[in-house]
Chain A
């Protein structure tokens, strides 16, 4: 094992050397070089390739095939009525056709996709920013030596420990306009029932509130970890220099948390953008389509309307993927410009 590893490291270095030389002279014909390199690569690294193969195969089956199939369906007019079905004695062949980029043109020019995208962005930005701010605040509080600290930490992680759909259902009961706990509480104070999930604007607030409630523990734990890795001496030194609490937070805590926070913001953005269970289980995208985000709408196309529109659903799915990839790329670039090595 060790021999193999060192061998490949050595030859990899050799490759680099060869490439460097090749670039310098610019004489070696490209085609030949690629094929020789390929052959040499296989013969020297066969062991590594063999080790990687199962992973590649599994990823190919789990991610690759559905992805390719999704992209393919988005270029057709496939729906429930024209895909292949084989039920007992009935065999119905596939009759859908290739329609090129029509689905994309429809999605990007119609107002449904753009409208849903608008709300999805509002939802993502408000959820992530509030969750981050709250998580940071709580992490700072819990990083101090206060009585019952571990008890509070436990308590605050609770929303995370409960399975997501259970807590969303609990919230749904709380929000119920007629019989929900929140409205009973308000009624006790003489306040009229609030249509938590029945008024379009209130429903938007309600779903955001639940997602924040669900998201805070993750932020808090991640940021608490970050805080604990900032050496205490820096705070002591700053205090000696007369820095006040805000200055210490601004100039030590925030820069110290930078690497952690950039990662959690990226993750949280992607998760929130595609946060299916909260929306689906609380409102099913309603009332009307007021809280429908891109993923829940794509699900609706594929599973709730009839005939099920597989093509449109896949189109939206591919567009979601493209949007998130664009976001990640831009985010990375911005960070790199600011001097992050991430």
Chain B
């Protein structure tokens, strides 16, 4: 749950009805006589509407040019709803897409539930060695490959250069500096320093890593979110909000964050490459040079941002597996990734793409590549996708003063131990 959880609650409720009685994306016949691909491939994309989706739609439809008998149906499902919508559809067996853009943490979970088709030995995987190792890691589950990496990402601080200049401050590199910088910005310009999303715990991770903490330690089967580092991280974010260095929102986090930053009401946000295209659409960033990006501030122990990204996975119940494999291969090919990197500044998962012209000189990609290289990788266990629900409840409770950092971390840890049977 990373983006726009709240964006379309309506869609979420309707999803139930829609999947219950929705018409099945009938994928028709597999192959015509000549071995040529045909039929329909339905693809659920989760990219940001209004900026990213246009590029992806165009790219997806380009598949039809290569395979004229295949009909690609592009569906954009809001990111916040996609995990649940896919589960509903996949389990009931009706209305599920052939190919889904699956966030890295969802992939092992979907695979574990039996919803994904194994891709080893299929045309979906091509030139596997070219994939970045950390991108490929999340596609493997139980010795098989269930997805193909599409994009990889991490997080950084996005800042408004003009506000920084007006306030005469430099980009903060630690949380302590973040507080002083925010205060100066407030004093000089009246703007708030940082917008911290309070309704999505993904935005909490860099603070947790900064204090040397982590959600779980999968090698030793230990829950670590409630250790002293976890408690410290909760205290840090609570203090940022209480001291006025950061403002937060527990309901409309994504929309309010983006509009506050785009309108120049806040000087900094923490975000990833997926927000770049949307941010450039804002009034403050008509001049793209006004957007600065820097590594997330370090905590008292370390500096780190979570490694994220998206894979393409094929639904096991797809009626058109062959075309779906080919589509997945096409969308993750070096050529397609280069187009996406150029158009949207999203980071490719293939090593070879980084040296291509148009990608090599992309500033955003150039900034995020080293960040991704040392980003913190989460354990790719089926439960990774389940770890956010308990955390976000407690994180919001701490930020809104319903729980103390101590108790918040403790309750999250208890919920994790219930989820991960037998863990310490």
Cα–Cα distance between A81 and B109 once the two chains are bound (Å): 10
A71-107 near B? 1/0 per residue, CB < 8 Å? 0000000001100011111101000000000000000
Contact of B10 among A85, A90, A165, A307 (CB under 8 A): A165
Give B343 Cβ to nearest chain A Cβ, in Å: 29
Contact of B251 among A198, A280, A308 (CB under 8 A): A198
Contact of A286 among B10, B13, B251, B386 (CB under 8 A): B251
Most chain-B Cβ atoms within 10 A of its Cβ — which of A80, A88, A304? A88
Cα–Cα distance between A189 and B265 once the two chains are bound (Å): 20
Contact A169 B402 (CB under 8 A): no
Instruction: From known contacts A280-B9, A281-B13, infer whether A179 and B251 are also in contact, taking CB-CB under 8 Å.
Output: no
Residues of B within 8 A of A165 (CB): 10, 13
Residues of B within 8 A of A80 (CB): 87, 91, 113
B384-399 near A? 1/0 per residue, CB < 8 Å? 0110011001101101
Contact of A288 among B316, B318, B396 (CB under 8 A): B396
Cα–Cα distance between A307 and B316 once the two chains are bound (Å): 19
Q: Which residue of A lies closest to B251 (CB)?
A: A197
Contact A306 B385 (CB under 8 A): yes
Q: Which residues of chain A (200-226) have a CB below 8 Å from chain B?
A: 200
Cα–Cα distance between A312 and B315 once the two chains are bound (Å): 28
Contact A199 B400 (CB under 8 A): yes
A280-305 near B? 1/0 per residue, CB < 8 Å? 11111011111000000000000111
Does chain A have a CB within 8 A of B342? no
Cα–Cα distance between A210 and B315 once the two chains are bound (Å): 41
Q: Which residue of A lies closest to B109 (CB)?
A: A306
Does chain B have a CB within 8 A of A178? yes
Contact of B315 among A88, A179, A200, A307 (CB under 8 A): A88
Residues of A within 8 A of B396 (CB): 286-288
Does chain B have a CB within 8 A of A277? yes
Q: Which residue of B lies closest to A92 (CB)?
A: B114
Contact A178 B386 (CB under 8 A): no
Cα–Cα distance between A289 and B90 once the two chains are bound (Å): 29
Consensus secondary structure, chain A interface:
loop
Contact B93 A198 (CB under 8 A): no
Contact A85 B91 (CB under 8 A): yes
Does chain A have a CB within 8 A of B6? yes
Interface size, chain B (Cβ < 8 Å): 48
A167-202 near B? 1/0 per residue, CB < 8 Å? 001001000111100000000000000000111100
Contact B250 A287 (CB under 8 A): yes
Give A89 Cβ to nearest chain B Cβ, in Å: 6
Contact A305 B386 (CB under 8 A): yes
Contact A198 B402 (CB under 8 A): no
Contact A287 B316 (CB under 8 A): no
Contact B10 A303 (CB under 8 A): no
Give B390 Cβ to nearest chain A Cβ, in Å: 8
B90-103 near A? 1/0 per residue, CB < 8 Å? 11010000000000
Contact B249 A85 (CB under 8 A): no
Contact B256 A176 (CB under 8 A): yes
Q: Which residue of B lies closest to A90 (CB)?
A: B114
Q: Which residues of chain B (86-125) have a CB below 8 Å from chain A?
A: 87-88, 90-91, 93, 109, 112-115, 117
Give B96 Cβ to nearest chain A Cβ, in Å: 8
Contact B317 A88 (CB under 8 A): yes
Cα–Cα distance between A286 and B9 once the two chains are bound (Å): 13
Q: Which residue of A lies closest to B253 (CB)?
A: A198
Does chain A have a CB within 8 A of B73? no
B377-420 near A? 1/0 per residue, CB < 8 Å? 00000000110011001101101111100000000000000000
Q: Which residue of B lies closest to A305 (CB)?
A: B389
Give B385 Cβ to nearest chain A Cβ, in Å: 6
Contact A304 B251 (CB under 8 A): no
Residues of A within 8 A of B316 (CB): 87-90
Q: Which residue of A lies closest to B88 (CB)?
A: A303
Does chain A have a CB within 8 A of B260? yes
Give B284 Cβ to nearest chain A Cβ, in Å: 15
Contact of B400 among A169, A288, A308 (CB under 8 A): A288
Contact B386 A86 (CB under 8 A): no
Residues of B within 8 A of A89 (CB): 117, 316
Residues of B within 8 A of A198 (CB): 198, 248-251, 400
Instruction: From known contacts A87-B316, A178-B249, A304-B389, infer whether A284 and B9 are also in contact, taking CB-CB under 8 Å.
Output: yes
Give A147 Cβ to nearest chain B Cβ, in Å: 39
Give B88 Cβ to nearest chain A Cβ, in Å: 8
Cα–Cα distance between A123 and B147 once the two chains are bound (Å): 46
Q: Which residue of B lies closest to A307 (CB)?
A: B386
Does chain A have a CB within 8 A of B84? yes
Name B residues whose Cβ lies closer than 8 Å to a Cβ of A: 5-6, 9-10, 13, 16, 83-84, 87-88, 90-91, 93, 109, 112-115, 117, 198-199, 248-252, 256, 259-260, 265, 315-318, 321, 385-386, 389-390, 393-394, 396-397, 399-403
Please name the 4 residue pairs, one residue from A and one from B, whose CB atoms are nearest each other, closest first: A288-B397, A287-B250, A88-B317, A88-B316
Can you report 11 residue pairs joining A to B where beta carbons are below 8 Å apart?
A: A85-B114, A87-B115, A92-B114, A178-B260, A200-B402, A280-B9, A286-B251, A287-B199, A288-B394, A303-B16, A305-B386
Beyond A85-B115, A90-B114, 6 additional pairs, beta carbon < 8 A: A178-B252, A200-B400, A287-B396, A288-B403, A303-B88, A305-B386
